[in-house]
Amino acid sequence: MNNRLKDKIIIVTGGNGLLGRSILDRLKSEGALCLNFEISHSTNDDLTQVYCDITNPNSIDEALELVLKMYKKIDGLVNNAYPRTKDWGTKFEEIVFDTWKQNIDWQLNSYFYISQKVAIQMSIQKDGSIVNMASIYGVVGADFSVYEGTTMTMPAAYSAIKGALINFTRYVASYFGPQQVRVNAVSPGGIFDNQNEVFVSNYCKKVPMRRLGSPEDIAPTVAFLLSDDSKYITGQNIIVDGGWTAI
């Protein structure tokens, strides 16, 4: 593995999750010092683990203050955390408006807040890269046929959040471009996570590569966008989906 992220201080939110673990492993293997912002652990001495509730602006402020006090800079941010209400995945007709609003607030609004704070710091540094984890369902409509024969569905809020996040990515990239701050999105296709066998079969029949993705399929693109190999790429949404959106 190359060392193209050597000495870079990179924050990954939600690093204990399925995608987060793989992203952290990949970034570390390329030399980055990764700071995992998570609600499910406490803060350690070197800040490789930082307690942070990304739904709470005060918690974000406290976590970022610790990072800047110790390391004086932030080279990269991966917005990966995925907070959601217990009724996430409710069918459209049954969605409670208050939980719709809560999910928008927890996900989209928290991405805005931490991106705002980190982008301001990066603009002072005149350098930095932010990667927002989006989705194919922020690009195209849901194919509900893959859920036939299961109790699964595609959450309506997910498409709204991810679609908004992709255009928010373009906005921040345009706004902070003069300060050499790059902002991009990565949109994975379906990721295998021991889902219902019927869903897996339905999905694999639809996608050109005939399989669900793995976290290891996604992490290299994140690493690329955080590295200097992508130093003239900003405002883009990189789709990693086995060809799902090509047909």
Angle 126-235-144 (CA atoms, 0-180°, nearest 5)?
145
Q: Give residue 1's pLDDT band: very low, low, confident or very high (50, 70, 90).
A: low
Helix orientation angle between 110-125 and 156-176, rounded to the nearest 10 degrees: 20
pLDDT value of position 143: 96
Which residue numbers are catalytic?
Answer: 158
Average confidence (pLDDT) over 33-55: 97
**Would the pLDDT of 144 be above 80?**
yes
Distance between CA 18 and CA 234 in Å, rounded?
26
pLDDT above 70 covers what percent of the chain?
A: 100
In this structure, whether the domain defined by 9-141+155-193+214-241 belongs to CATH 3.40.50.970 is answered with no
Q: Is the pTM of this model over 0.75?
A: yes
Buried b (16+ CB within 10 A) or exposed e, 43-73: beeebebbbbbbbeeebbeebbebbeeeeee
> What's the CA gap between 65 and 113, in Å, rounded?
14
Percent pLDDT > 90 in the chain is 99
13-36 average pLDDT score: 98
* Angle between helices 57-71 and 110-125 in degrees, nearest 10: 20
Residue 153: closest CA among 220, 95, 204: 95
CB atoms within 10 A of CB 40: 11
DSSP 114: H
Kind and range of the H or E element at 10? Answer: strand 9-13
Residue 2: per-residue pLDDT: 86
Average pLDDT estimate for 49-66:
98
pLDDT in tens, 80-127: 999 999 999 999 999 999 999 999 999 999 999 999 999 999 999 999
Per residue in 2-18, pLDDT tens?
Answer: 899 999 999 999 999 99
- Write phi, then psi, for 146 (nearest 5 degrees): -70, -15
